[in-house]
């Protein structure tokens, strides 16, 4: 049933229960559907209602743990929240193989991010640049009044840059370079940009328009590498196949988009589990990959013994404090399971997870094809969608895979046969 009119006066003023009832009335939800939406799990509806607007329910997602990770000599259990089949299994297996080669070695730079102040209507951008830079200390000092916590710990606004953007006449962009320590940093950077805007207008004679952080963080980057021993991944042919698959991604934007999406499959799952901003991470990674022409975020080579060496370079603006990271109890527990003590350690783990996920995907493509690995897990999802009960799922999935017909309609036919109501005709 399509809603005829989506205008609801005062919708935001209603309680979550009242909103749900209103939506049910407008779109024709059944009482069973309403009851399902009223089951909110561990995140109470009151908590959800405080996090975002117009809440009617919550949506659960599988929360898994990927074992086997060793990063910089330390072991981790990695929580991953994701609905896509095979990601967790592939990541765990890749970490096990990397472990045999010494595990992942990783490094994350200082948590430096850009805040942008756009100034328009500048009489002379060259003069404005000099005048802004001559007041640099004053501007930074003013910015740091936005966070006494950062300032007291030797962090906060550290530097200032002035740019002209080609094609934007009469404009300059002021970049505040901010050390945000263990936070993602958006709120404090936005506040700093607001704080310095009047002074920048005074100095330049222009008018400040935008005052906001940039989600591209080339100064806040994580690196990781690992050795995958050739005898554990299928020998020389597979090693060479992975390298050639990576070369393809380096040279072809269509392949690179899918290649980098696979990297973010792993990284995003950890970010969702810990309630970090995965949307900012996606924008950051893909923008970074596009600098100089869209390319792979990973690299692969072969060492003198024929083993595969994989590495990754990925910008990561993540936090272990602030935002919603402490607002939801399951996310807090997920962070406890992970055991990252600060944002740089978290970035090292995330880079390692991204590399593991990418290696697993390329190995599957180079060895047996990605679909075979997906098939059994996808079949289980199809069985659930078709209405299989937990005891029936594996049996239905097994039949689907054996027949090579993984569809909801076929799963329903198999269920009917199993329950004694079918003819046994596979059609």
Catalytic residue set: 84, 261, 277, 374
Q: What phi, psi does 122 have (nearest 5°)?
A: -80, 125
CB 121 within 8 A of CB 207: yes
Q: Which residues contact 195 (CB under 8 A, 6 or more apart)?
A: 142, 143, 145, 146
Q: Which of 359, 344, 361 is nearest to 72 (CA)?
A: 344
- If one counts every other C-beta atom within 10 angstroms of the C-beta of residue 7, the result is 6
User: Cα separation of 389 and 420, whole Å?
Assistant: 15
Burial of 126 (0-12, 13-18, 19+ CB in 10 A): exposed
The tokens describing 277, both together, are 């901003």
Q: What phi, psi does 40 have (nearest 5°)?
A: -105, 0
The tokens describing 185, both together, are 């940093």
- Which element (helix H / strand E) includes 182? none
3-state SS class at 255? helix
Q: What phi, psi does 54 have (nearest 5°)?
A: 55, 35
Q: Which residues contact 27 (CB under 8 A, 6 or more apart)?
A: 1, 2, 3
The tokens describing 154, both together, are 């030797």
CB 109 within 8 A of CB 219: yes
3-state SS class at 221? strand
CB 205 within 8 A of CB 119: no
CB 107 within 8 A of CB 160: no
């Amino acid at each position: 049933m399509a809603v005829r009119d989506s205008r609801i006066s005062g919708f935001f003023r209603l309680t979550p229960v009242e909103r749900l009832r209103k939506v049910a009335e407008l779109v024709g939800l059944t009482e069973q559907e309403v009851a399902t939406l009223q089951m909110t799990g561990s995140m109470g509806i009151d908590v959800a209602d405080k996090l975002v607007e117009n809440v009617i329910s919550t949506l659960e997602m599988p929360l898994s743990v990927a074992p086997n990770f060793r990063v910089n000599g330390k072991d981790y259990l990695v929580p991953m929240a994701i609905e896509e089949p095979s990601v967790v299994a592939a990541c765990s297996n890749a970490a096990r193989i990397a472990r045999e080669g010494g595990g992942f070695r990783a490094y994350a730079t200082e948590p430096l991010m850009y805040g942008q102040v756009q100034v328009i209507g500048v009489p002379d951008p060259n003069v404005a640049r000099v005048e802004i830079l001559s007041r640099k200390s004053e501007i930074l000092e003013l910015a740091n009044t936005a966070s006494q916590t950062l300032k007291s710990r030797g962090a906060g606004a550290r530097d200032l840059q002035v740019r002209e953007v080609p094609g934007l006449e009469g404009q300059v962009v002021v970049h505040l370079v901010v050390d945000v320590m263990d936070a993602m940093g958006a709120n404090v950077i936005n506040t700093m940009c607001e704080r310095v805007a009047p002074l920048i207008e005074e100095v330049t004679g222009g008018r400040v328009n935008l005052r906001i952080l940039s989600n591209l963080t080339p100064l806040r980057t994580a690196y990781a590498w690992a050795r995958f021993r050739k005898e554990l991944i299928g020998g020389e042919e597979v090693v060479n196949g992975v390298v050639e698959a990576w070369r393809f991604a380096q040279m072809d934007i269509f392949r690179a988009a899918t290649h980098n999406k696979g990297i973010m499959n792993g990284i995003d799952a950890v970010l969702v589990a810990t309630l970090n901003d995965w949307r900012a991470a996606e924008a950051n990674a893909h923008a970074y990959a596009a600098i100089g022409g869209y390319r792979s975020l990973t690299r692969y080579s072969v060492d003198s013994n024929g083993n595969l060496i994989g590495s990754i370079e990925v910008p990561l603006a993540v936090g272990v404090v602030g935002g919603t990271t402490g607002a939801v109890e399951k996310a807090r527990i997920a962070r406890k399971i992970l055991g990252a003590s600060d944002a740089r350690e978290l970035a090292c783990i995330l880079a390692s997870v991204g590399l593991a996920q990418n290696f697993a995907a390329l190995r599957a493509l180079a060895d047996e094809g990605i679909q075979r690995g997906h098939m059994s897990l996808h079949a289980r999802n199809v069985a659930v969608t078709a209405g299989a009960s937990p005891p029936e799922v594996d049996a239905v999935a097994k039949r689907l895979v054996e027949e090579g017909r993984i569809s909801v309609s076929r799963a329903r036919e198999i269920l009917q046969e199993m329950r004694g109501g079918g003819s046994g005709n596979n059609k």
